[in-house]
Chain A
Amino acid sequence: MKSETAIDPKIMEEIIKFNKNVINAPSHVAAPDEIVLEVTPHDVVQEMDKTRLLHYKPLTDKQHKTPLLISYALINRYHILDIQPEKSWVRNLVQQGFDVYMLDWGSPTAMDKYLDFDDYVNGYLDGAVEFIKNESSVEKISLQGYCTGATLATAYTTLHPESVKNYIATAPVIDGWRDTTVISNLAKNMDVDKMVETIGNMPPEFMYYCFSVLKPFEQGIEKYVKFFKNIDNKKYVDNFLRVEKWLSDTPPIPGELFKQWIKDIYQDNLLIQNKMYVNNSHIDLKKIDMPIFTQVAVGDHLVSPECSMPLHYAVGSEDKTLRMYPTGHVGMIASSLSQKKVLPELGKWLLERS
Chain B
Amino acid sequence: MSSKPQALGSTGPMRAFAANSKKVSTELIEINESLLQFNKFVTEYYKQLAETWNDAQKKVNLKAPEVPQDVEQIDAFKRIWIDIFDNDFTELFDSKKFGENYGKLVSKELELTKHWNNITNVILQSVNLPSKEEIDEVYKELHSLKKRVTKLEIETKKKKEMKKNEK
- Give the interface of A toward B (CB within 8 A): 6, 8, 10-11, 14, 49, 110-115, 119, 123, 180-182, 185-186, 188-191, 194-195, 197-200, 213-218, 221-222
* Between-chain CB contacts (< 8 Å), 6 pairs: A8-B71, A114-B143, A188-B99, A190-B106, A194-B111, A213-B93
**A-B interface contact total, Cβ < 8 Å:** 85
Smallest CB gap from B89: residue in A: A216
User: Which residues of B lie under 8 Å from residue A189 when comparing CB positions?
Assistant: 99-100, 102-103
- Would you list the 7 A-B pairs with minimal beta carbon distance, nearest first? A189-B103, A114-B143, A189-B99, A8-B70, A182-B93, A185-B99, A191-B107
Contact assessment for A215 and B90 in the assembled complex, using a CB-CB cutoff below 8 Å: yes
B79 CB to closest chain A CB (Å) equals 9
User: Which residues of A lie under 8 Å from residue B146 when comparing CB positions?
Assistant: 49
User: Which residues of B lie under 8 Å from residue A119 when comparing CB positions?
Assistant: 147
B41 CB to closest chain A CB (Å) equals 12
Contact assessment for B107 and A217 in the assembled complex, using a CB-CB cutoff below 8 Å: no
Residue B103 contacts which of A8, A11, A190, A198 (CB distance < 8 angstroms)? A190
Bound-state CA distance A191–B113 (Å) is 14
Contact assessment for A218 and B107 in the assembled complex, using a CB-CB cutoff below 8 Å: no
Bound-state CA distance A25–B119 (Å) is 46
User: Which residues of A lie under 8 Å from residue B98 when comparing CB positions?
Assistant: 185
A201 CB to closest chain B CB (Å) equals 11
User: Which residues of A lie under 8 Å from residue B136 when comparing CB positions?
Assistant: 113, 200
The number of chain B residues with a CB under 8 A from chain A is 36
B87 CB to closest chain A CB (Å) equals 10
B110 at the interface (CB under 8 A from A): yes
Residue A218 contacts which of B82, B102, B103, B139 (CB distance < 8 angstroms)? B82
Contact assessment for A195 and B143 in the assembled complex, using a CB-CB cutoff below 8 Å: no
Smallest CB gap from A113: residue in B: B139
Say yes or no: A111-B102 contact (C-beta < 8 A), given A191-B110, A199-B113, A218-B82.
no
Contact assessment for B107 and A115 in the assembled complex, using a CB-CB cutoff below 8 Å: no
Contact assessment for B82 and A221 in the assembled complex, using a CB-CB cutoff below 8 Å: yes
User: Which residues of A lie under 8 Å from residue B96 when comparing CB positions?
Assistant: 185
A16 CB to closest chain B CB (Å) equals 13
User: Which residues of B lie under 8 Å from residue A185 when comparing CB positions?
Assistant: 93-96, 98-99
**A6, A113, A180, A191: residue with the most chain B Cβ atoms closer than 10 Å:** A191
Say yes or no: A195-B106 contact (C-beta < 8 A), given A8-B70, A182-B93, A217-B86.
yes
